[in-house]
Chains A and B, each alone.
Chain A
Amino acid sequence: QQQVKQSPQSLIVQKGGISIINCAYENTAFDYFPWYQQFPGKGPALLIAIRPDVSEKKEGRFTISFNKSAKQFSLHIMDSQPGDSATYFCAATGANNLFFGTGTRLTVIP
């Protein structure tokens, strides 16, 4: 059973637009929710993370929105740029393991 479900699988956005990627989880013991960004030929890199005691976290153009009651969280990329084109992975962790979503390939068209 997949611990973290991520959608969409792929996303195409115009430059300057907003990119939104959604994730859902089942295990209420999860207490740390990171997002990783992966460029072709590179490993994933931590982009931004949130804990469930807050509903939103913003770092520059990247924002995580967290809905604890719905067990959902999402990544918003404002003013999307071609350099943001990459694969994005959400993840969730509790005491012993880190579970990743299946990834979203984002393409930002100039």
Chain B
Amino acid sequence: ETGVTQTPRHLVMGMTNKKSLKCEQHLGHNAMYWYKQSAKKPLELMFVYSLEERVENNSVPSRFSPECPNSSHLFLHLHTLQPEDSALYLCASSFRRDRLNEKLFFGSGTQLSVL
């Protein structure tokens, strides 16, 4: 295991549902990330939190709402999603003393299907 745990592993939701993805890291890291992985496309950075402060938001639609209550936990709140949002959502963490985006530790992801 990488020390980064994501739940749930699989999620099926309708377009009108509200759900949340959870990520927890046990590595003592203080930077956390959300990535979106779609088939045959590069991993897309969605959000970055460093010391619980959001430092990156890559033009992600407002139907995705991140929350970082402390340096060990990260959430992605989902509402009124579209079918094209179906993808694998990956959480990652790193040490802030390393430059952001270097030496990432990824969780196993949440496979999201929007019907």
Contact = CB atoms under 8 A, between A and B. Distances in A.
Nearest to A102: B42
B56 interface: yes
B102 A34 contact: yes
A98 B101 CA distance: 6
Interface centre among B43, B100, B107 (most CB of A within 10 A): B43
Contact of A2 (B42, B90, B105, B107): B42
Contacts, number: 55
Interface string B84-101: 000000101000000111
Interface residues of B, number: 22
B42 A46 contact: no
Contacts of B90: 43-44
Interface of A: 2, 4, 9, 32, 34, 36, 41-46, 49, 89, 93, 96-103
Interface of B: 2, 4, 40-43, 45, 56, 58, 90, 92, 99-109
Question: What 6 A-B pairs are tightest by C-beta distance, nearest first?
Answer: A43-B106, A98-B101, A100-B42, A100-B43, A93-B101, A44-B106
